[in-house]
Amino acid sequence: MTNAPVAARALALIAIALPACSHSPPPRHPGEEYLAAIDFEGNKAIKSSDLKTGLALHRVQSLGSSPDPYLVTVDGDRIKGRYLREGYLEVDVHSRVERHGDAVTVIYKIDEGPRAVTKIVIGGLPANDPQLTEAMVRKKIALTDGKPFAYDPYDKAKEPLLGIAEDAGYAHAKLDAKVVVDRVNHQGVVTLVYDLGPKCHFGKITIQGVKDADLEDSVRARLAFVTGQQFSAAAIAKSQRQIYAMQRFSTVRILPDKSDGDTVDIHVSMSHASAHELSLGGGFGIDPATYEVRGRVGYSQIGWPLPLYRFDFDGRPAYALMRDGTGWEPRVRAIATLTRMDLFHPYVNGLVEGGFDYMVLESWTEYGPRMRLAMNSPIFTEHLKAEVGWSLQRFSFSHLTPLIDPTLADDLRLTQTELNGAFQQSVALDYRDSQVEPHLGVYSELKVSEGGPWAAGNLTYTEVVPELRGYVPVPNTGIVLAARARYGAIFGAIPVSERFFAGGSSSQRGFSERRLSPTVSGMTMTGFLSEPIGGAGMFDSSLEMRAQIGKIRTVGVGGVVFFDAGDVTLTPADLNFGNLNYAVGAGLRAFTIIGAVRFDFGYRLNRTGPMDPEPGSHYAFHLSLGEAF
């Protein structure tokens, strides 16, 4: 494939876009003054380029206009304010204007003075209350006695400083916070004086806006406080989050009534969310093997057939056009799920799931019904969740590729109907700051399945799949480093429907979808073919550097560079971590209201020979929705 036409079109677009994006100043006439430069003198702590950014005169200069004396004064105050925020409390700024013909230069002379150091004075705290101590107050403000002072940490701490008093039971607490400049000692003296009032407890709790008694009981179970308990603003905030997480209400208000001395009555009011939700989505992928169109249809109905139930339908049709001319491959999955909230106990969810798959894969077609029963619940904390369940699926196989001979078909169990019954357990620890676009945190998960006659199946096996993800932001850069590692192993009689395949937009991106796999190869009537058959051993890993690039109108644009490594083998023992398949690549992101629209290009670094997965292919393109992990 040649890239010359693509490069030519890209250069043409750039040539058209550059003049449109430039802002040339209008032509000037002789005798018309214009702002030629903005200069600074005496600044050492803050760079001139940083001071210039945000000044009104900066825009005046870009437009080729003359400086307004009023803006000169206002910008001088802006510069002084910038220094004050950084802790230079004795700064002085003077401006002057110099003219050379029509050219005007505005010069700001800055006397920075010494940077103030911090001194914190705290008053009004109780003498013997371990729930509210001076050490706890100091911990809430990112300033330390004797260290440089700045206004930003002080401003950000005001609300948390009052919050710790309210969390300690002082519902009527007030905080008088101010900064006093001590010019003699060059200090910024932060004074925090509390007026606490009495310790309070929760009083009567009323709930409005709930139409069903069972649903009201579920709401009450999610309140992190009870009548008579010590008042806590954090408990109110936690309760609101937990009620929203029920996905039953569009608004949740928890209002404390502080008019009755040390008793705080609570009024909880809610508005029901829409009971119906329809979602549509899709994507388009191009790789050396296929053109694929993917669709997704989702429907949810809350409160059906009873208030604590939820019905969901998820349909995922896809069509892949083979680039070798062999035709279209339909792929369909339809799943209906009925979930019961608070089954036997608050926060315990029970679900019944049924569906049907018809998947025309590269080497065979698999089809049949499936069902699953499961229960899930948080454990000790909302960050740790566990699930146990039982699944049963009955798959038949047809349209085997001619590359699979009768012996291999028997070995893969493609000649018999698969009745796969298994008990399943999973536990997940999630400390990400966002499930959609994480920037900080970790996520780990372990899935284990045991199949056999005791689970109504005809195959005895054990499957283990652990996974770990991590996200770390690089300070002051907008860059996020993200990493993932996933391992999979199946021991015993390997179900065809459980075989591992890798490659694609959410896996090893140097490969087409599912093409990183053990393969069967040979000559056919259409030429030499290599088709994936899956394996029982899998390792998949990625390292990414994600960065915000800018905006196109109101849509954020980001870029990614990545390194992927992985392999799928016939057995777990065949995995060789010293000889994985490696790929590097880059991608673009458009951050829309429905998530990140993602385009990635992956280039394979090794193992592209005739005996390797997807032989002869060196690269793959991927277009999809959402981050890879």
Structure tokens at 157: 């701490």
Residue 84 has pLDDT above 80, yes or no: yes
Confidence of residue 483 (pLDDT cuts 50, 70, 90): very high
Q: One fold for both 117-195 and 201-272? A: yes
Hey, what CATH class is 201-272 in?
Answer: alpha beta
What confidence score (pLDDT) does residue 150 get?
A: 94
- Cα–Cα distance measured from residue 360 to residue 369, given in angstroms and rounded to the nearest whole number: 15
258-285: average pLDDT: 88
What confidence score (pLDDT) does residue 16 get?
A: 37
Rounded to two decimals, what is the model's pTM? 0.76
Q: Kindly report, residue by residue over 17-61, the tens digit of the pLDDT.
A: 334 334 455 666 677 889 999 999 999 999 999 999 889 998 888
Residue 500 has pLDDT above 70, yes or no: yes
What confidence score (pLDDT) does residue 25 get?
A: 55
What confidence score (pLDDT) does residue 252 get?
A: 96
What confidence score (pLDDT) does residue 139 get?
A: 94
- Cα–Cα distance measured from residue 539 to residue 101, given in angstroms and rounded to the nearest whole number: 71
405-425: average pLDDT: 94
DSSP helix/strand/coil, 471 = strand
What confidence score (pLDDT) does residue 36 get?
A: 92
Confidence of residue 10 (pLDDT cuts 50, 70, 90): very low
| Topology, domain 31-111 | Ubiquitin-like (UB roll) (3.10.20)
Residue 3 has pLDDT above 80, yes or no: no
Structure tokens at 292: 């694929």
Question: With 0-12 CB in 10 A as exposed, 13-18 as middle and 19+ as buried, what is 425?
Answer: middle
pLDDT > 70: percent of the chain: 93
Helix (H) or strand (E) holding 403, with range, is: none
What confidence score (pLDDT) does residue 166 get?
A: 95
Domain 117-195 has CATH 3.10.20.310: yes
Nearest to 66 by CA among 76, 57, 53, 75: 57
What confidence score (pLDDT) does residue 528 get?
A: 77
Taking 3-state DSSP, the helix, strand and coil percentages for the chain, each rounded to the nearest 5, stand at 15, 50, 35
Q: Kindly report, residue by residue over 566-586, the tens digit of the pLDDT.
A: 999 999 999 999 999 999 999
Residue 466 has pLDDT above 90, yes or no: yes
- Cα–Cα distance measured from residue 151 to residue 586, given in angstroms and rounded to the nearest whole number: 40
What confidence score (pLDDT) does residue 285 get?
A: 64
What confidence score (pLDDT) does residue 27 get?
A: 66
- Cα–Cα distance measured from residue 572 to residue 540, given in angstroms and rounded to the nearest whole number: 13
Residue 14 has pLDDT above 60, yes or no: no
Residue 94 has pLDDT above 70, yes or no: yes
Q: Kindly report, residue by residue over 107-166, the tens digit of the pLDDT.
A: 999 999 999 999 999 999 998 899 999 999 999 999 999 999 999 999 999 999 999 999
What confidence score (pLDDT) does residue 586 get?
A: 95
- Pairing status of strand 479-492 against strand 461-474: antiparallel
What confidence score (pLDDT) does residue 291 get?
A: 77
Please work out, in degrees rounded to the nearest 5, the angle formed at the alpha carbon of residue 292 by the alpha carbons of 291 and 293.
130
Greater confidence, 25 or 512? Answer: 512
Q: What would be the CATH architecture of the domain defined by 276-625?
A: Beta Barrel (2.40)
Residue 282 has pLDDT above 50, yes or no: yes
Q: Kindly report, residue by residue over 298-308, the tens digit of the pLDDT.
A: 999 998 999 99
User: Domain locations in the chain?
Assistant: 31-111, 117-195, 201-272, 276-625
Mean pLDDT, all residues of the chain = 89
What confidence score (pLDDT) does residue 458 get?
A: 93
Please work out, in degrees rounded to the nearest 5, the angle formed at the alpha carbon of residue 230 by the alpha carbons of 227 and 236.
75
Confidence of residue 284 (pLDDT cuts 50, 70, 90): confident
What confidence score (pLDDT) does residue 325 get?
A: 67
